[in-house]
Structures are given as structure tokens and as C-alpha cells.
Amino acid sequence: MTYTLNAPQRTEMDHTTADPDIALRIRSLCKSFGDHEVLRSVDLDLGAGEFLTLLGPSGSGKTTLLRILAGFDTPDSGRILLRGRDISHLSPAERDLGMVFQQYALFPHLTVADNVAYGLRMRGWKPARRTRRVAEMLELVGLPDKARSKPQQLSGGQQQRVALARALAYEPQLLLMDEPLGALDRSLRLQMQEEIRRVHREVGTTIIFVTHDQEEALALSDRVAIMHEGGLAGLAPPSQLYQNPPSTFVARFFSNAN
Ligand code: ADP
């Protein structure tokens, strides 16, 4: 099925696409900056609970796609349906998403605990339940003793772990992560990969993950999408893409990184 809807859509259920097995449906998503076409009609369906990693050379449009899904940028045309609901024109706060972005920094005036509690408070969680959840999340990311610290008292890596705890705390329908482990050293990175995998397994969150690290993509993902010049050059389970690349571009992309 294809869509050619360019006009802003009202937020509503689209019953033709409200398939319970599809968490996210992206159709004909286009974005240009000036005359530079950064996304060229991207179509993508994500299964409920699926872990998808976006890989691709720098400048291929990964971050732009994620920013548009998050609501930080507006597409020129196309649709984004989250469980059948068109979210294309909602603000970031109105989308039921968790985000771990470099640009989506922690609130500097709030303590670590209050940062993690922020989304829970917005969703009306009662204080006792919030406190329990915050403690659980800080334990999960290995920072139980930093609850009262302010973000500027933490290292970059620790701030990223708090951002991860904040994003996961309310078990969002869709979690978007742009290089969430980029600032961590290797052992912490492996530990956090394991935590993300565990949370994904236990909570069943649908995840889109952007990384430059192919090993990480292979370790974490159900499927990998390779972006190339604003389009998808390959979309398949990682081992399949790796062993049986659909194009010379994908084959070269994998071999260049090794
Ligand atoms: P990736 O995440 O794959 O490295 P990006 O989505 O960050 O790619 O960028 C894709 C292209 O869009 C790049 O050429 C980048 O320079 C350009 N771009 C991204 N954001 C903007 C912007 N706000 N204004 C102009 N060009 C942009």
C-alpha cells in the first residue's frame, strides 16, 4: 500500500493501517534542507517489540529520520503512524516515545532522581511508585548513589546512563536512541548493551537504535536498516544482510568497517 499524502493530517486512528503487529509505520517520508534531499521517500514498518538498528555512512540521514520521528524536525511530506495513530504533527511531548539523544540533554537544574522521575510525574505516577521506579532505574544503569547529584557533577558517560534510565522509566511504546552508548568505555558499553537487551526482552519495547558500531548492531538487533543517501539500501536481520548483502553498496559498507 502506498500513500501520497502531503498535507498535514489531523491526529486520528487510521483503521486501514491499525494492525496490532505493526508498532510503527513510516510512509513516503521526505525531507530536504534547501535543495539537499536528506530523506527520499522512506517507507518502513516496525513490528511490535522489534529492535531495529539504523546503520549507514555519516550524512546518510539516520539522525534526521530519528529527529523527525521524535518530533524535533518536521517532514516535508509523508506519514508516521504509531500503532495506527498519525503522530506526524504532534509535538515531541505528545508522542508516547522515549528518547536518548545527544541533543536531548538532562535538565541541569534537576537532580538525577528528578530527571528520571520527570516523565513519570508528567504521566501522573504517584510519589511512592515514582520513588520505587527511580531507584530501580538508577540501579539498572549502575548509578544508585547518584540520585541526589546534579547532571554537571557527572561524567559524560554517567549522564548518558541517566538519560537512558529517564527514557526507559515509563516503558514507552517506542524508544529512539541515537548513539546512546557513544561516550562509554568498552566495558561499560558491553554492560549497557546487555541491559538494553534485557530491558528489550523483558519489557518488549519497540526500539530504533542508531549506531556507527556494526558489532553493536549485530549484537542487539532483530533487523538492521542500512541508510544510503536518504533511502534504505538494505533491511533484513543482521546475519542475513552481512552474509548475503543485497547490493555492492551494502557489501562494501560492511567490508570497509572491518
Ligand atoms: P547521519 O545521522 O546519517 O550522519 P544526518 O541525518 O545527521 O546524517 O544528516 C544528513 C544530511 O543532512 C547531512 O548532509 C547533513 O549535513 C544534513 N543536515 C542535517 N540537519 C541539517 C540542518 N538542520 N540543516 C541543513 N542540513 C542538515
d(CA 60, ligand 1 centre) in Å: 8
Cβ–ligand 1 contact at 214 (below 6 Å): no
pLDDT at 93: 82
pLDDT at 102: 72
pLDDT at 154: 93
Run of H or E including 250 = helix 248-256
Per DSSP, which regions of 130-212 are E strands? 174-178, 206-210
Mean pLDDT of the residues in the chain: 87
Q: Which atom of ligand 1 is nearest to the CA of 58?
A: 4
Q: In this predicted model, what pLDDT tens digit does every residue of 156-185 receive, in sequence order?
A: 778 888 998 999 898 888 999 998 887 778
Contact 230, 60 (CB under 8 A): yes
The answer, yes or no, to whether residue 16 has pLDDT greater than 60, is no
pLDDT at 138: 94
Q: In this predicted model, what pLDDT tens digit does every residue of 106-135 receive, in sequence order?
A: 999 999 999 999 989 988 999 999 999 999
Cβ–ligand 1 contact at 111 (below 6 Å): no
Q: For residues 102 and 95, what is the distance between their CA atoms, to the nearest angstrom?
A: 19
Cβ–ligand 1 contact at 60 (below 6 Å): yes
Cβ–ligand 1 contact at 75 (below 6 Å): no
Give the residue whose CA is nearest to atom 27 of ligand 1.
33
pLDDT at 8: 38
Q: For residues 198 and 240, what is the distance between their CA atoms, to the nearest angstrom?
A: 23
The answer, yes or no, to whether residue 14 has pLDDT greater than 60, is no
Residues 52-64 have a mean pLDDT of: 95
Q: In this predicted model, what pLDDT tens digit does every residue of 210-225 receive, in sequence order?
A: 998 888 998 899 999 9
d(CA 249, ligand 1 centre) in Å: 20
The answer, yes or no, to whether residue 258 has pLDDT greater than 70, is no
DSSP strand pairing (77-82 vs 36-47): unpaired
DSSP strand pairing (36-47 vs 174-178): unpaired
The answer, yes or no, to whether residue 191 has pLDDT greater than 90, is no
Burial (Cβ within 10 Å: 0-12, 13-18, ≥19) of residue 72: middle
One DSSP character per residue, 81-107 reads: EETTEE-TTS-GGGS-EEEE-SSSPPP
pLDDT at 174: 92
Q: Which atom of ligand 1 is nearest to the CA of 178?
A: 2
Run of H or E including 190 = helix 186-203
Q: For residues 239 and 94, what is the distance between their CA atoms, to the nearest angstrom?
A: 36
Asked whether this complex has an ipTM greater than 0.90, the answer is yes
Q: For residues 117 and 137, what is the distance between their CA atoms, to the nearest angstrom?
A: 10
> Measured between alpha carbons, how far is residue 18 from residues 4, 89, 175 in Å?
18, 18, 19
pLDDT at 2: 35
Contact 209, 53 (CB under 8 A): yes
d(CA 147, ligand 1 centre) in Å: 35
Give the residue whose CA is nearest to atom 14 of ligand 1.
59
- Record the pTM: 0.85
Cβ–ligand 1 contact at 56 (below 6 Å): yes
Cell numbers of 234, please?
538494505
The answer, yes or no, to whether residue 34 has pLDDT greater than 90, is yes
The shares of helix, strand and coil residues in the chain, as percent rounded to the nearest 5, are 35, 25, 40
SS3 at position 136: helix
pLDDT category, 6, cuts 50, 70, 90? Answer: very low
Contact 200, 177 (CB under 8 A): no
Contact 100, 160 (CB under 8 A): yes
Cβ–ligand 1 contact at 53 (below 6 Å): no
